[in-house]
């Protein structure tokens, strides 16, 4: 089996073999920045640089050729830019974890990164240790970008508004039978309103452990990684709808 074929079959998370390295593609139009990142990550024995790219076209080509586990994506690439490049790559390589790097706190870029399917959004002045930690967490299946949403109310509002509209627009196209049970839909509906597991348990007169068990079932059925993704997926399908402001 070729290296490319093998990389395409890699699985992220705990199932990764101990001797299998995390393959990383660095995408930035500044050669010195790419060199610095490459030197930092090259010190980690379980990291491997799969390639470097300085524009959208080469990023897509190298990503499809090497199927990296992680892509570090600069937002300020030449047109069409880092956000659209992220979106294009995620369509072709949905299991690839893309970490978007920005020079500044830009809410438009953050919103775009969320829509494009990025797993994390960090600033370029991140410390080497924090960058390595972020990569490891994304490899483990975490979607750190959700934390950014919850700390920025204006971005959270835009995200919920967009997916509410998607859900309403897609009502007629929603499947007749959702894969979730009525109770699971009910739990997701409560979570979409901002409730914690404990609050959902109280509202539905069930135990908190029962809520957790249902959430595990929901994540498995929908093939998503966390409750935020589950809510977004359910809204897109029209199974639940965010209440109007």
Domain boundaries, the chain: 3-151, 153-237
pTM: 0.61
Class of domain 153-237: alpha beta
d(C-alpha 102, C-alpha 123), whole Å: 5
Higher pLDDT, 85 or 145: 85
Class of domain 3-151: alpha beta
Continuous H helices in 140-226? 145-151, 153-169, 182-192, 197-204, 208-222
Q: How crowded is the C-beta side of 14, counted as CA atoms within 13 Å? A: 0
* pLDDT computed for residue 8 by the predictor: 35
* pLDDT computed for residue 179 by the predictor: 67
Which H or E run contains 26? Answer: strand 22-27
Domains 3-151 and 153-237 share a fold: yes
For 204, 229, 234, 237, 240, the CA distances from 244, given in Å and listed in that order, are 22, 20, 16, 18, 12
Burial class of residue 4, CB neighbours in 10 A (0-12, 13-18, 19+): exposed
For 176, 224, 239, the CA distances from 179, given in Å and listed in that order, are 10, 13, 10
Give the pair of three-digit tokens for residue 10: 């890699």
Please check the confidence at residue 31 and state whether its pLDDT lies above 90.
yes
């Amino acid at each position: 089996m070729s290296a490319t074929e093998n990389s395409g079959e890699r699985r992220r998370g705990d199932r990764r073999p101990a001797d299998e390295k995390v393959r990383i593609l660095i995408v930035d139009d500044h050669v010195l920045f790419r060199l610095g990142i490459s030197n930092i990550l090259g010190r980690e024995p379980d990291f491997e640089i799969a390639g470097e790219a300085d524009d959208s076209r080469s990023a897509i080509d190298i990503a499809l050729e090497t199927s990296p586990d992680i892509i570090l994506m600069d937002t300020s690439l030449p047109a069409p830019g880092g956000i659209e490049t992220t979106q294009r790559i995620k369509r072709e390589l949905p299991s690839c974890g893309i970490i978007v790097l920005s020079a500044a706190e830009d809410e438009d870029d953050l919103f775009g990164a969320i829509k494009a399917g990025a797993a994390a959004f960090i600033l370029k002045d991140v410390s080497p240790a924090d960058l390595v930690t972020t990569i490891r967490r994304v490899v483990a299946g975490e979607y750190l970008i959700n934390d950014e949403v919850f700390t920025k109310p204006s971005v959270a509002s835009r995200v919920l508004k967009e997916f509410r509209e998607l859900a309403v627009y897609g009502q007629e196209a929603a499947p007749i039978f959702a894969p979730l049970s009525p109770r699971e839909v009910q739990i997701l509906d409560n979570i979409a309103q901002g409730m914690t597991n404990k609050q959902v348990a109280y509202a539905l007169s069930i135990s908190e452990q029962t809520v957790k068990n249902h959430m595990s079932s929901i994540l498995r059925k929908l093939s998503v990684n966390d409750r935020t993704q589950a809510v977004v997926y359910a809204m897109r399908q029209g199974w639940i709808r965010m209440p109007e402001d």
